[in-house]
């Protein structure tokens, strides 16, 4: 018998007869773990959550929680009998109740089952929603509605909490603070949580593991560090929108060569035969600026991003390469000027496809 707390095996997720994501398998090992599912809009992330919650049925595979099968081609436990809470992305508060009443409805579920680990006041403080308690859903902003919906879900202390883009409507200035508070409270209450988001930084911060969904498949399911540094497919690279792929030839155990950049050193994350042609993932942080270097490339664009600039450089073979430079760096370069790259180029994790 599987020891995983939550497990999805070979499930096709579909809505209205149309398959959105195929043959998905992943698991959550321990109760209280948080995982995140990342992917572009419309890819089927919400469908996955709705199916786990029991709002959509499956025809293939199984979904198990705590050893009990919730969904399969033959079994479908009704949503009200699952003790799974889903906080919808859009406002799903009951329009005829005040926010306070809406949130308190969350506590109805666990009245008999569980000891209340967190009281209403703590949740209200946590999500900073005291000022809207007496209001009705139509009187509050989308971000406040999201937080109220989150509060209701937290108060219900479900076996599994599903959050669909929980902070998408929350102001940027408040978002990071809420993320910190949310992570703390979920860990404190040991609520197993699956969060769906398209914000990779949110996923990397909150999730113990992250899944990347692309082109109807779960492409990679791993811890955030590995997803970022060891992407297992070009699709994952494209989704995370990091760097570019440039042609290179493997020249040694720890080296490869590109016609424009010369020799590149580092640690291959996978082995490749000597002399094989590969596509090397070059990320903006991989190259270092050095005015004294004899490897000079032409600046075609410069974007100011607060803490850094992103220079776009053109190689002799017309490849465009992004490079980060700290914004306090004294020597700035204008478009059309030459930009030096430090040699030898060293990349800690060499990712090739």
Neighbours of 88 (CB within 10 A): 20
80 contributes a contact to another protein by CB under 8 A:
yes
* Paired strand residues for 24: 11
CA distances from 88 to 2, 18, 174, 181, 187 (A): 30, 21, 20, 19, 21
Instruction: Give the nearest distance from C-beta 94 to another protein in angstroms.
Output: 6
- Complex with another protein: residue 85 or 312, whichever CB lies closer: 85
- Complex with another protein: residue 50 or 242, whichever CB lies closer: 50
User: Crossing angle for the helix pair 172-189 and 120-127, nearest 10 degrees?
Assistant: 150
* Paired strand residues for 282: 244
Among positions 244-263, residues that touch another protein (CB under 8 A) are: none
- Complex with another protein: residue 152 or 242, whichever CB lies closer: 152
Total of chain residues touching another protein, rule CB under 8 A: 29
Binding mask 50-79 for another protein (x = CB under 8 A): x--xxx----------------------xx
Write down how long the chain is.
Answer: 353
Instruction: Give the nearest distance from C-beta 192 to another protein in angstroms.
Output: 15
Number of DSSP helices (H) and strands (E) in the chain, helices first: 8, 19
Instruction: Give the nearest distance from C-beta 96 to another protein in angstroms.
Output: 4
Binding mask 286-325 for another protein (x = CB under 8 A): ----------------------------------------
Among positions 103-132, residues that touch another protein (CB under 8 A) are: 105-106, 108-109
229 contributes a contact to another protein by CB under 8 A:
no
Q: Of the listed pieces 83-91, 200-208, 225-233, 319-327, which binds another protein according to CB under 8 A?
A: 83-91
Instruction: Give the nearest distance from C-beta 43 to another protein in angstroms.
Output: 20
Instruction: Give the nearest distance from C-beta 318 to another protein in angstroms.
Output: 44
Segment (H or E) for 309? strand 308-314
Instruction: Give the nearest distance from C-beta 54 to another protein in angstroms.
Output: 8
What is the signed CA dihedral for 32, 4, 229, 304, rounded to 10 degrees? -30
Q: Of the listed pieces 89-97, 180-188, 248-256, 290-298, which binds another protein according to CB under 8 A?
A: 89-97
Instruction: Give the nearest distance from C-beta 84 to another protein in angstroms.
Output: 7
Neighbours of 269 (CB within 10 A): 16
Contact 181, 126 (CB under 8 A): yes
- Burial of residue 210 (CB within 10 Å: 0-12, 13-18, 19+) is buried
Exactly one of 65, 86, 151, 163 binds another protein (CB under 8 A); that residue is 86
Residue matched to tokens 């469908």: 47
- Complex with another protein: residue 80 or 336, whichever CB lies closer: 80
- Complex with another protein: residue 135 or 349, whichever CB lies closer: 135
Residue matched to tokens 């219900």: 156
Among positions 135-194, residues that touch another protein (CB under 8 A) are: 142, 149, 152, 156
95 contributes a contact to another protein by CB under 8 A:
yes
Spatial CB neighbours of 11, under 8 Å, sequence gap ≥ 6 = 23, 24, 25, 51, 58, 60, 61, 62, 63, 71
Neighbours of 216 (CB within 10 A): 15
Contact 114, 191 (CB under 8 A): no
Tokens of 310: 């992103």
Exactly one of 88, 221, 311, 339 binds another protein (CB under 8 A); that residue is 88
Q: DSSP per residue over 260-291, as a string?
A: TTEEEEEEESS---TT-EEEEEE-TTTS-B-T
Q: Which residues bind another protein (CB under 8 A)?
A: 50, 53-55, 78-86, 88, 90, 92-97, 105-106, 108-109, 142, 149, 152, 156
């Amino acid at each position: 018998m599987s020891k995983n707390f939550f497990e999805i095996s070979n499930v096709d997720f579909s809505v209205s007869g149309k398959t959105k994501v195929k043959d998905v398998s992943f698991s959550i090992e321990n109760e209280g773990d948080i995982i995140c599912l990342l992917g572009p809009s419309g890819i089927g992330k919400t469908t996955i959550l709705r199916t786990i919650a029991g709002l959509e049925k499956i025809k293939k595979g199984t979904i198990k929680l705590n050893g009990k099968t919730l969904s399969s081609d033959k079994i479908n436990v009704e949503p009200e009998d699952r003790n799974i809470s889903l906080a919808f992305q859009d406002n799903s508060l009951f329009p005829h109740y005040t926010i306070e009443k809406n949130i308190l409805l969350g506590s109805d579920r666990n009245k008999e089952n569980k000891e209340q680990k967190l009281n209403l006041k703590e949740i209200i403080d946590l999500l900073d929603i005291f000022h809207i308690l007496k209001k009705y859903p139509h009187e509050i902003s989308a971000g406040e509605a999201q937080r109220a919906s989150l509060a209701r879900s937290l108060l219900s202390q479900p076996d599994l909490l599903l959050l669909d883009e929980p902070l998408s409507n929350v102001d940027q200035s408040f978002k990071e603070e809420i993320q910190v508070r949310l992570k703390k409270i979920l860990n404190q209450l040991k609520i197993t949580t699956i969060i769906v988001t398209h914000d990779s930084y949110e996923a990397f911060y909150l999730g113990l593991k992250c899944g990347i969904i692309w082109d109807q498949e779960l492409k990679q399911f791993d811890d955030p560090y590995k997803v970022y540094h060891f992407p297992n497919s070009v699709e994952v690279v494209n989704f995370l929108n990091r760097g570019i792929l440039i042609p290179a030839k493997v020249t040694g155990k720890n080296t490869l060569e590109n016609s424009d950049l010369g020799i590149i050193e580092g640690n291959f994350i996978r082995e490749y035969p000597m002399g094989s042609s590969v596509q090397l993932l070059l990320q903006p942080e991989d190259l270092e600026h050095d005015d004294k270097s004899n490897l000079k490339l032409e600046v075609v664009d410069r974007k100011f991003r607060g803490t850094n600039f992103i220079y776009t450089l053109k190689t002799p073979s017309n490849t465009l390469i992004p490079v980060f430079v700290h914004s306090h760096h004294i020597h700035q370069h204008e478009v059309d000027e030459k930009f030096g790259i430090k040699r030898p180029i060293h990349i800690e994790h060499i990712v090739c496809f």
